Amino acid sequence: MDKPKVTPKDFFLWVGAMVALYGGVVAFIALIFDYINHAFPNPVTNYYYTDSSGISYESASLIVLTPVFLILMRVIRRAIAADPTRQDIWIRRWALFLTLFFAGSSMVVDLIVLVNTYLQGEDLTAGFLLKVLTVFLVAGLGFMHFLADVWGYWEREPQRARMVNYGVGVLVVVSIIAGFFIIGTPQQLRAQKQDAIRIQDLQNLQWQVINYWQQKESLPAVLTDLNDPLSNNMIPLDPETKTVYGYKRTSPLDFQLCATFANAGDSMNQYGRPVAIPTEPLGTDKPTQDNWQHNAGEVCFDRSIDPQRYPPYTKAR
């Protein structure tokens, strides 16, 4: 009896399913690792910055790749049910045994990392153990699933195969929803990013005002005085309302900068890392220590120019 031939449809269905599977598994493990890092901060650094871009990308990957994999596998199983000879094509055998190899290797490497960490006398923290357990469970369940596929179990039990598909879908949905409690909804992330831009804009305006004072030995009456088309220096606008930020000259050396924020925070951007602050302000080699903590709503920051730290350019020469 001739061996069944692999059609282009067979080839691309299996290649597509395996690419979606491997990509989805990597994204799922990375997502769970991010959650573990958030729940159990690294004891060496004593803090953990939640990377919203990583969680968002991993969630997006799962949202796209999971249904792609489940749909492709359903099409493949229907084709096998219609033509049982499709079970013996080489692309199916290669895909199944390659996946078994990767899953088995992952479990072995996972255990090696665990034992090696213990033998080196390092602390087996809760976060580390949970990561090891995550890899072992994901790889182990994948190994069992595809070993059952090799034995033809899912063809004999199509109802249970559908239950597994539903279970995977629910697990992915729950893991994605959990991310909203850590990094927030897309609307909340947008508001955080806009607040981070406002802080950066106010910092920029602060140094523009200082530079203006050093040049003219007087504070600008209004922010539009800072505009200088010749040097392409234009004052920034609020990212949401596109209006000029608040400014008030309170004394010959004191001024206020104001903005309306969506949330309470400080000079931290949406990824939890400090925003760029000039480390060498004009007229001094000392770093700035300005505080940009704020509540939600309109907040004004009082600033005072020290002529000794920021001498006028004429006197500096």
Span 1-39, pLDDT tens digits? 567 788 899 899 999 999 999 999 999 999 999 999 888
Which residues sit opposite 133 in a β-bridge? Answer: none
| pLDDT tops 70 at residue 287 | no
Computed over every residue of the chain, the mean pLDDT equals 84
pLDDT above 50 for 178: yes
Q: 184, 207, 222 — which closes off a domain?
A: 184
d(CA 276, CA 19): 39
Mean pLDDT of 154-176: 86
pLDDT by residue (tens digit) across 228-276? 777 777 889 999 999 999 999 999 999 999 999 998 876 544 434 433 3
% pLDDT > 70, the chain: 87
Reduced DSSP (H G I as helix, E B as strand, rest coil) percent helix, strand, coil of the chain, to 5: 60, 10, 30
Q: How many CB atoms lie within 10 A of CB 265?
A: 19
Closest Cα partner for 3 from 87, 96, 78?
87
| pTM score, whole prediction | 0.70
Does residue 203 surpass a pLDDT of 70? yes
Q: Give the pLDDT of residue 125.
A: 87
- Clarify whether residues 152 and 211 are in a common domain: no
pLDDT digits (tens, 9 = 90+) for 124-150: 888 889 999 999 999 999 999 999 988
Are 179 and 195 contained in the same domain?
no
- Using the 3D structure, point to which of 125, 158, 184 is the last residue of a domain: 184
- Reading the block at residue 38, the tokens are 């958030």
Instruction: For residues 58-73, give the mean pLDDT.
Output: 91
pLDDT digits (tens, 9 = 90+) for 89-118: 999 999 999 999 999 999 999 999 999 988
Asked if residue 271 and residue 128 are part of one domain, the reply reads no
Nearest-10 Cα torsion for 189, 33, 162, 19: 90
Last residue of some domain: 156, 184, 212?
184
Q: One-letter amino acid identity for 245?
A: Y
Q: Has residue 290 been placed in a domain?
A: yes
Using an 8 Å Cβ cutoff, are 15 and 73 in contact? no
Instruction: For residue 290, name the pLDDT band (cuts at 50, 70, 90).
Output: low
Q: Cα(229)–Cα(222) distance, rounded to whole angstroms?
A: 16
Same domain assignment for residues 117 and 136: yes
Q: What is the pLDDT of residue 281?
A: 40
Residue 162 forms part of a structural domain: yes
pLDDT at res. 132: 93
Q: Which domain holds residue 310?
A: 187-316
Residue 282 has pLDDT above 60, yes or no: no
Going by pLDDT thresholds of 50, 70 and 90, the confidence category of residue 119 is: confident
Q: 134-168 b/e with 16+ CB inside 10 Å = b?
A: bbeebbeebbebbbbbeeeebeeeeeebeebbeeb
Neighbour tally for 10: CB within 10 Å: 18
Confidence band for 185, pLDDT divided at 50, 70 and 90 = confident
pLDDT band at 168 (very low <50, low <70, confident <90, very high): confident
Q: How far is CA 136 from CA 71, 105, 110, in A?
A: 26, 10, 7
Residues 198 and 177 in one domain: no
- 2: in domain: no
* Residue 196 sits in the same domain as residue 124: no
Together in a domain, 124 and 271:
no
Lowest mean per-residue pLDDT among 90-104, 156-170, 187-201: 156-170
**DSSP string for 55-94:** HHHHHHHHHHHHHHHHHHHHHHHHHHHH-GGGGG-HHHHH
Residues 201 and 144 in one domain: no
Backbone torsions φ then ψ of 301, nearest 5 degrees: -110, 120
Quick one: which of 54, 305, 309 has its CA closest to 182? 54
Q: How far is CA 217 from CA 211, 253, 306, 312, in A?
A: 9, 9, 12, 6
Strand-pairing partners, residue 257, are 247, 301
Q: For the chain, how many residues are written?
A: 317
pLDDT at 256: 94
Say if residue 218's pLDDT is above 80: yes
Query: Count of domains in the chain?
Result: 2
